[in-house]
Amino acid sequence: MAPVIEMRGIQKHFGAVHALRDVNFTLGPGEILGLVGDNSAGKSTLMKVMTGAYARDGGDVLVDGAPTQFRSPQESRDRGIEMIYQDFALCGNMDVGQNIFLGRWPRRFGLFVDRPRMYAEANAVLKRLKVDVNSVFQKVESLSGGRQQSVAIARAISFNPRVVIFDEPTANLSVMATERLLETMAELKRQGVAQVIISHRLTDIFEVGDRVMVLKRGENVGDRYVKHTTEREVLELIVSGAPETALTADEALAKAA
Amino acid sequence: MTSVASATPAAGRPASLPLQLAGGWEVGILVFMAALYGVGVFINPGFFGSTDAISSVLRDTARYGVMAVGMTFVIVNKELDLSVGSILGLVATVFSILYAPSHLDLGAGWATFGAVLTGLTIGLINGVLVTRLKVPAFIATLTMLFIGRGFVLGLTGGKTVAYERKAAADGWFFGWGETNAFGFNSQILIFAVVALLGALALAKTRMGFETYAVGDNEQAASYAGIPTRWVRMRAYLLSALGATLAGLMIVAQDKGITSQYGGGAELVVIAAVIVGGASIAGGRGRVVGACLGAALVVLIDKVLREGIPITREIDVGGIKMEVQAYAQLPPGAVPAFLGLILLGAVLIEPWAIKGGGAARVWALLRRRAAPPAADRGEAAIVGAQTRGAGSDARGVGATGLRAFLARRDAAAILLTVGLWLVGLWLRPDFWGSLDNSFNLLLAFTEIALVSVGLTFVLANADVDLSVGSVLALSGAIAAFLMKELGADPAVAVLCALAGGTLCGVVNGLLTVRFGLPAFVATLGTFYIARGLGAWLVAGRQLSGFSESFNLMGRNLFEVLAWAGAAPSSGLMLAVAKAVSVQTIFLGVVALVAGVVLARTVWGQMIYAVGGNERAARYAGIDTRAVRFWSLVFSALCASAAGVIYVAYYRSFNPSAGQLRELDGIAAVIIGGGSIFGGFGSVLGSLAGAAAITLIRSLLSLQLILADGSSFVMPQHWMNVFIGLVLIGAVVGDIWIRQENILARLVRRRSGVS
């Protein structure tokens, strides 16, 4: 299947630091990809290059095979790429409906906010996501962390994205909330949304992920299909992988066979 | 990073250590000071050429320098103490009241004791408000500034207190204000000792290191086991101590006081510390720099205040005569320049150093490729948390009274009704009368207009401290144009609105373009606008404008009468007499603003920016535009209030709009706004403004006592009450609405028992 997103030979410098070195990345439609690696491996940087939050110094980003030059996350959003930030980036003083439509509240007469439509659509999005947020009129600051994340996801979903990037989604969640989140991810996958999970917790990735990609000091050190690998093997890649011996998931599969 | 790593890295090459140790920044100040003194000598050789000038500059520097030493600790802590001028004034006042034969006539020792106690108490209150009650430093200390001023006026009754004869007997105290045996003023000696102790404490002791750590990263400092709250509290105490010392120095020198002592001193002191290399963003600054900064700012102040000798030719009965005269800035204009210096100094750090502005200019000069602008971290993944802690969950599902109490503007509505009833209870004969009601409505207009503008700014999590000054500037422009230039009223009104709005544009640019905190930017305009206004009218009161202009401050009856269409009787007459032009204007502005804020996309954007600016930015909202236009709108409202002020009073007084920023901020917060942004509604702010109006009018109500005598609270005490109301509103908002701490305490109590 043709990948939704492909990145080739990405280079990124921060002053003297070479943050990304010739990194390749692919994401298939409906695929859940775990992006793992140590701190400062370049996971977040790679995703920010993808969404246009950072300008790359070299390489190509292709969406549906066509090269792109995103200059801001808004531009990548227009092409169906959504990112859910670790702290959810919501306005606590506003209610759930207002947050789901943050910055693009439906208009009436070009100037006013169409409240009935906003809340009706917000309800519809929450239903589609199958999350339990009591009321679209509730202020976000009165919700628990897990529920706030649900709102953030609902917001992302309401754009009808093809790709959703989760930045450390389980870092601040309770066990229960994590379970719910993983269910939500599986639901999104059923709806054909490709997902990238940046995470330290391999357990979560092994539960819902299809493939796991390992970065180390800004370089590819290989990726594997979750079905055909073990947490142990991925940990070894994280700790002692090297770009010279990197295998793609398909190569690793062929080698094992 | 304790030293002033400023000048050299800005030029784009690595700083060499020896130059840094020598203090490149401090050397720069010294060079600049020498040049400035040269200018002073050039324009006014009569004054600056003499040795008296040097010793007078040094003597004044001594007092400001002592305050700057304390202030350095506060600013390095990433905070601000606006109350130092007030503390100086109050300390001097308390000393004088205790000491003066005309008042309590105590000994100098007791007077000193009382004065020190006063100063430290204010420092303690500042510290408690900021560190314990979590009130933002600028709002806490600004309120203390006005409360302190109120006390000074209340205690002295606005009069001068002098005790020269008695002072002659207490040489051990008053000698410190005199020239000593070595031929220089002893205050300079005090300054030198304080500066040395302060410099050692900040640069060489644990206490100083703790201060730098807290200023740079309070969380890290607290994880490292530093008692951060005590460190911040200590800074406020030191700052108050410096101001106390300065207050004692000034009474020792002058052996008397006026109620004006210490006015605007906070501006000089803060400017001094920042010119001296400290950063408003905390973690940077040195005592030596602050002292040199104090000398520089005092010198600038002197150069500005001393006139330029000019020769004017006048014609007396056909005979030309040459007259020696002084071209001087009118009183009140100097703060305009000091405000400019403050803003300039504050901009050095974020623009020239961190933003790489100086490096870019330098590269341009050498015709090299400019280094890229610093990454602003537009979409950094880590960042602010979604704010708030469950304050509004209470309202969900509640009905009746509970639902009402959960409304954020409930306090304002209850307060308005309650205060009005109190007025009725105190003066049943007068309070309910039409006369009084109309007067209330008129007083309400000014506060309400300012509050409507401030609602937008506060909802954005910014603040506009300049509204009162902008009101004065706009009024001054209108009065000046009509009186001095004979301009048409329409032109005058347009120019006044434009001038006031320009202040908002400056506020907006400084805030969103240069990234200054809004309270710093608007604090600058607070002084600049009032100074410019005073300059325009030369500090005088102007009156006698054309009646067509004054109609803007009249009721409909007078307008219709002027147009020759006065209703003669019946309901129309009553309505026309009751409704004034300004009330209608306010109604229109409030209606439009209320609809925009509550119902339009723009209003939603304002709340989003105030709730979580970063989230709003990710959502594609142009947060800079939103904040910019809110500040402009606030200035526009204030300038409209200024025009109405002139029309209503038929005259302009340079003190117009004083304290309006406090009234406005208090009104918005009582009405449901939050000093941290994201909340507030126009309706709530109007209710809040009504509450403030009622408080003001109750305080000036003439009470008829049981024995038939009447009592009016002296006007001088008004500031104190308004300040207390503001602090009460802010603390109440933080502790009840935002954190719901009271409810939590109650719950914990009942949970334990």
Task: Scan residues 158-187 of A and list those with Cβ closer than 8 Å to B.
Answer: 167
CA angle B613–B616–B619, rounded 5-degree value: 155
Q: Which residues of A touch B388 (CB under 8 A)?
A: 92-93, 139-142
Q: What is the mean pLDDT of residues B534-559?
A: 82
What average pLDDT does the structure give for chain A?
A: 87
Cβ–Cβ under 8 Å, residues B528 and B339: yes
Nearest to B666 by CA among B280, B135, B150: B135
Residue type for B55, please?
Answer: S
Q: Report the DSSP beta bridge partners of residue B724.
A: none
pLDDT of residue B119: 96
Cβ–Cβ under 8 Å, residues B518 and B463: yes
Q: Nearest CA of chain B to the CA of A64: how many Å? A: 24
Q: What is the mean pLDDT of residues B701-716?
A: 78
A236-240, B489-493, B696-700, B706-710: which has the minimum mean pLDDT?
B706-710
Task: Scan residues 81-100 of A and list those with Cβ closer than 8 Å to B.
Answer: 85-94, 98
In this complex, the residue of A74, A93, A134 whose CB is nearest that of residue B620 is A74
Residues B94, B96, B101, B102, CA torsion sign? negative
Quick check: B23 pLDDT over 70? Answer: no
Quick check: B453 pLDDT over 80? Answer: yes
The DSSP output letter for B369 is P
pLDDT of residue B388: 40
Q: What whole-number distance in Å separates Cα of residue B158 and Cα of residue B154?
A: 7
* pLDDT tens readout for residues B494-526: 999 999 999 999 999 999 988 888 998 999 999
pLDDT of residue B12: 43
E strands in B421-520: none
Q: What whole-number distance in Å separates Cα of residue B224 and Cα of residue B696?
A: 48
CB within 8 Å: A93 and B621? no
Antiparallel, parallel or unpaired: β A81-84 and A163-167: parallel
Cβ–Cβ under 8 Å, residues B281 and B1: no
Q: Which residues of A touch B382 (CB under 8 A)?
A: 86-87
What chain A residue is nearest to B460 in terms of C-alpha separation? A93
Q: Nearest CA of chain B to the CA of A244: how many Å? A: 30
In this complex, the residue of A87, A93, A98 whose CB is nearest that of residue B610 is A93
Return the CA Rg of chain A.
19
Q: How many other C-beta atoms are found inside a 10 Å radius of the C-beta of residue B414?
A: 14
* pLDDT tens readout for residues B222-271: 888 899 999 999 999 999 999 999 999 999 998 989 888 888 888 889 98
Element (H, E) at B723: helix B718-732
Quick check: B374 pLDDT over 90? Answer: no
Angle between helix axes B518-536 and B489-508 (nearest 10 degrees) is 150
Quick check: B4 pLDDT over 90? Answer: no
Quick check: B11 pLDDT over 70? Answer: no
Nearest to B340 by CA among B388, B389, B301: B301
pLDDT of residue B380: 32
In this complex, the residue of A86, A91, A105 whose CB is nearest that of residue B381 is A86
3-state secondary structure of B600: strand
Q: What is the mean pLDDT of residues A15-20?
A: 85
Quick check: B10 pLDDT over 50? Answer: no
Cβ partners under 8 Å of residue B146, min gap 6: B86, B659, B662, B719, B722, B723
Quick check: A168 pLDDT over 70? Answer: yes
Q: What whole-number distance in Å separates Cα of residue B542 and Cα of residue B562?
A: 23
* pLDDT tens readout for residues A67-112: 998 888 888 888 889 888 887 888 888 889 999 998 889 888 888 9
Cβ–Cβ under 8 Å, residues B70 and B195: no
Any CB–CB contact under 8 A between A55 and chain B? no
* Percent of chain B with pLDDT strictly greater than 90: 38
Q: What whole-number distance in Å separates Cα of residue A129 and Cα of residue A123?
A: 10
B67-81, B252-266, B704-718: which has the minimum mean pLDDT?
B704-718
pLDDT of residue B116: 96
* Percent of chain A with pLDDT strictly greater than 90: 23
CA count, 13 A, side-chain hemisphere, A186: 11
List domains and CATH numbers for chain B. Answer: 44-171+184-308 (1.10.3470), 413-713 (1.10.3470)
Q: Nearest CA of chain B to the CA of A250: how many Å? A: 31
* pLDDT tens readout for residues A117-132: 999 999 988 887 777 6
pLDDT confidence band for B364 (50 / 70 / 90): confident
Regarding an ipTM greater than 0.90, the answer is: no
* pLDDT tens readout for residues B127-171: 999 998 888 898 999 999 989 999 998 898 888 999 988 888 888
Q: How many other C-beta atoms are found inside a 10 Å radius of the C-beta of residue B328?
A: 13
Cβ partners under 8 Å of residue B344, min gap 6: none
pLDDT of residue A65: 87
Cβ–Cβ under 8 Å, residues A198 and A190: no
pLDDT of residue B443: 85
In this complex, the residue of A85, A93, A104 whose CB is nearest that of residue B388 is A93
Quick check: B475 pLDDT over 90? Answer: yes
pLDDT confidence band for B588 (50 / 70 / 90): very high
Cβ partners under 8 Å of residue A102, min gap 6: A90, A91, A94, A155, B608, B615, B616, B619, B621
The DSSP output letter for B179 is B
B164-178, B423-437, B521-535, B632-646: which has the minimum mean pLDDT?
B423-437
A102, A155, A199: best to mutate for the B interface, most B CBs within 10 A = A102
Quick check: B352 pLDDT over 70? Answer: no
Cβ–Cβ under 8 Å, residues B53 and B254: no
Quick check: B382 pLDDT over 60? Answer: no
Q: Is B12 exposed, middle or buried (0-12, 13-18, 19+ CB in 10 A)?
A: middle
What is the length of chain A? 257
What chain B residue is nearest to A105 in terms of C-alpha separation? B601
CB within 8 Å: B607 and A148? no
In this complex, the residue of A88, A103, A111 whose CB is nearest that of residue B619 is A103
Q: What is the mean pLDDT of residues B573-602?
A: 89
Q: Nearest CA of chain A to the CA of B419: how many Å? A: 30
Q: What is the mean pLDDT of residues B171-176?
A: 86
Tokens 């108490």 belong to B121
Element (H, E) at B309: strand B308-316
DSSP string, B519-564: HHHHHHHHHHHHHHHHHHTTT--EE---HHHHGGGSBHHHHHHHHT
pLDDT of residue B742: 64
pLDDT of residue B358: 66
pLDDT confidence band for B737 (50 / 70 / 90): confident
Q: Which residues of A touch B385 (CB under 8 A)?
A: 87
Cβ partners under 8 Å of residue B154, min gap 6: B714, B716, B717, B720
Quick check: A175 pLDDT over 90? Answer: no
Check residues B496 and B748 and name the one with the higher pLDDT: B496
pLDDT of residue B387: 39
Quick check: B571 pLDDT over 50? Answer: yes
Q: Is B376 exposed, middle or buried (0-12, 13-18, 19+ CB in 10 A)?
A: exposed
A12, A56, A91: best to mutate for the B interface, most B CBs within 10 A = A91
CB within 8 Å: B679 and A89? no
Quick check: A40 pLDDT over 60? Answer: yes
3-state secondary structure of B161: strand
Find the DSSP H helices in B44-163. Answer: 45-48, 51-76, 84-99, 108-127, 137-156
Q: Which residues of A touch B615 (CB under 8 A)?
A: 88-91, 102
Which tokens go with B687?
């209710």
Count of pairs with CB atoms under 8 A, one residue in A, one in B? 118
pLDDT of residue B128: 94
Residues of B with CB under 8 A from a CB of A: 378-379, 381-393, 396, 599-605, 607-608, 610-612, 614-616, 618-621, 677-679
Antiparallel, parallel or unpaired: β A5-14 and A17-27: antiparallel
Q: Which residues of B touch A142 (CB under 8 A)?
A: 388, 390-393, 396
Query: Best-predicted range by mean pLDDT among A120-134, A220-234, B360-374?
Result: A220-234
CB within 8 Å: A139 and B619? no
Which tokens go with B199?
């410099």
* Percent of chain B with pLDDT strictly greater than 70: 88
pLDDT confidence band for B747 (50 / 70 / 90): low
Cβ–Cβ under 8 Å, residues B636 and B644: no
What chain A residue is nearest to B674 in terms of C-alpha separation? A93
What average pLDDT does the structure give for chain B?
A: 83
pLDDT of residue B353: 60
CA count, 13 A, side-chain hemisphere, A21: 15
SS (H, E, C) chain A: CCCCEEEEEEEEEECCEEEEEEEEEEECCCCEEEEECCCCCCHHHHHHHHHCCCCCCEEEEEECCEEECCCCHHHHHHCCEEEECCCCCCCCCCEHHHHHCCCCCCEECCCEECHHHHHHHHHHHHHHHCCCCCCCCCEHHHCCHHHHHHHHHHHHHCCCCCEEEEECCCCCCCHHHHHHHHHHHHHHHHCCCEEEEECCCHHHHHHHCCEEEEEECCEEEEEEEHHHCCHHHHHHHHHHCCHHHCCCHHHHHHHHC
pLDDT of residue B686: 95
What chain B residue is nearest to A100 in terms of C-alpha separation? B619
A8 backbone dihedrals φ, ψ, rounded to 5°: -130, 130
How much is the pTM? 0.85
pLDDT of residue B19: 44
Q: Nearest CA of chain A to the CA of B607: how many Å? A: 7
B45-59, B500-514, B635-649: which has the minimum mean pLDDT?
B45-59
Query: Best-predicted range by mean pLDDT among A32-46, B330-344, B355-369?
Result: A32-46
CB within 8 Å: B393 and A138? yes
A93, A107, A158: best to mutate for the B interface, most B CBs within 10 A = A93
Q: What whole-number distance in Å separates Cα of residue B299 and Cα of residue B54?
A: 9
Nearest to B686 by CA among B452, B525, B476, B507: B452
Cβ–Cβ under 8 Å, residues A186 and A208: yes
Element (H, E) at B312: strand B308-316
* pLDDT tens readout for residues B263-312: 888 888 998 998 888 888 888 888 998 999 999 888 888 888 776 767 77
A155-164, B520-529, B547-556, B607-616: which has the minimum mean pLDDT?
B547-556
